[in-house]
Amino acid sequence: MIEFYTLNKQLLKIYINSCWLIFSKNEYTGEIRNVIKIKLSILLTLILITQFLHAGTLECTDLFNRSPQNLLSMQSHYIGENLGHYYDKLTKKYWKVHYFSDAELESLTLTIRESAIYNFKKEKYSTEFDPELGTYKEALVVLTAEKKLLILPYEARGVYHHSSLSRGQKVLFAGTITIANGQIISLTDLSGHYKPSFESLIYFIKHLESYHLDLRQTLISGFNVYHKTRQHSLTYNELKKLFKFDFNDYY
């Protein structure tokens, strides 16, 4: 980014100096003036093109420079849900969401090593397999403020949610994930409690990739992906190609 601004600054300086020369001095003939004007037009076009090309990646560059301190807060209307204070208009019932204790969270903690995801038993982790559909099911996933990876293989409205894992605290990411034999099959940013932004999704992907997980064919979907691309899902490689960035440059 610094190189881009340096280049444009230099081009603008040349352009301004040239304009000053052509309009402040009278010794140039009409033909020479026309030639200089043409060259100035080309220079100005070059400046505009570099600005346009950079603008396409500027938004992503800012997103991927995101600091881990920018945590996601739980939606305020859910505060007190663990105490029975939240009223669900759909079921017309008060929720009593279970917040897991430290001991309970131990069995829901995942670790990443040797390019694979392991459970608390040090076994390669897989989400629940559905024999009828022949696919692995999605599970709730949370990356805490301390970068602890937590997973909940089930969800029950009013009882078990992302907030059960986070205990209502701020997180780096919340969504859903599908894992088979330690490898991520799919990932979404779907969480009603946290409503993660696109930058939160990207940060989570960067976090996973930093452990050398093979994400090339991982399907990534959710609200933000559709909002940005108008496609329901993209592979990791397609996402990188579309936004023209390298995750390694921004982590």
Spatial CA neighbour of 126 closest among 184, 195, 59: 184
Q: What letter represents residue 177's amino acid?
A: I
Give residue 243's pLDDT: 74
Q: From CA 228, how far away is CA 142, in angstroms rounded?
A: 22
Domain assignments of the chain as residue spans, ordered by start: 2-64, 76-249
What is the reported pTM?
0.71
Spatial CA neighbour of 227 closest among 198, 199, 193, 195: 198
Give residue 5's pLDDT: 43
Mean pLDDT by 10 residues, the chain (251 residues): 47 62 59 70 72 49 50 96 96 96 97 96 96 95 97 96 98 98 97 94 92 94 91 89 61 49
Residue 74: phi, psi to the nearest 5? -65, 145
